[in-house]
Structure 1
Amino acid sequence: MVASALAFAVVTLGAGQADAQTNRWRSEPTRISGYFTLQACCEGHFIDRDEGTLDFGGDADMDPGFGFGLRAERRVADFLALGGLFEMLAWKLDGDDDREFFVDVDVFAKVPFEVPLTNSMALEVYALLPFGFTGAFQNEGDESESAFGLNLGLLGGAMLILDSFGFFVELGFRHHSVFGEADLGVATRDYRFGLTQFAFNFGASVVF
């Protein structure tokens, strides 16, 4: 009977330690994350917003893009975190010499779920929904062009939690839509450029 009681105590203690490991991410719910992003696939769409005789618009193949991001988030409930992010993506039309840049400033909602693995590790799986403002910037010689608009996304992720640190990967899509003005030499045209790409992110988090 004593042996059974000791075994029960060991199992209970181990479960409590594993639960405390994941609960620490709830009791200290503020996180800072840094990550790299790779985005690829699909075409960019130019839409001419002016009426006239000039033919401007159409689809364009895209080269893979790459960049980085920073996030801050806070758990507001067991299955909900809210936060903000800054992300920069370098992208290029197929055949162009120079890359352009998207700069995103977003808010996001995150729906997490933790699974204890051992006394010192846990796995968090989650869905992430970012939405916010985008600036698109391009340098051409001595001139620079800019366009502004919105972005959104949907990402699924998995994070391995080790004490105060976490390492994660994410897969999903990101969409950007910006409005600008193009100088065609003989005239300028207002346009909208839309781009949807698959996104793969990997990075690390720390809790405070």
Structure 2
Amino acid sequence: MKSFSKSFVLILFVLLCKAVYSQDIPDFPEIAEPAAPLYPSMQLSEKEENEYLKNISEPVKAQLKIIKENNKNRYHDFLREYYYRNMKFPALHRSEKQMRQNEKDVIENEILVESLAIKYKKSKAGEKEKIKNDLEKSLNKLFDLKEGLRENEVKELEKRLQELKEKLNIRQKNKSTIIRRRIDELLGDDKYLDWD
């Protein structure tokens, strides 16, 4: 009886292995490149493009034109970004206006750097050194601008952290009062004292 069950298990095992390894693996068709842009909404319509270009200075327009000839998607990204950074917000505080101006300067310099890189690739050997020097100057300026934005962000975070620490210390010192007020609030005895 034991030999029969061992034989049965062995035969079953062999048949299952044969069934698994004899299956055909289907050939998957190659994925074709999309004929149209993958995300058509990322492309700007001609009307949007003209609207965005309306408030851009001529030097920046010339740089954007160079980018457009080389990479339309990158051009549309820069155009959108520049338009957003150039929007007018009348109720901004002076420091916020300065931050917006710094962000606008960053995007202008990114456009300049991108256009210089394209010019470098397309230029003749005699022009490459001058373009490379201009690119280095522009990258130095862009780096300084971005670091300035980061420094401002760090200052804002430090200020916020200091405010939170002060609030935490005050709440810890007044723990019993805050708990007593919350008890009154939960029991309906609160008049004008809030938990938060």
What is the TM-score with the length of structure 1 in the denominator?
A: 0.20
Greater helix proportion? 2
Larger radius of gyration: 2
What is the TM-score with the length of structure 2 in the denominator?
A: 0.21
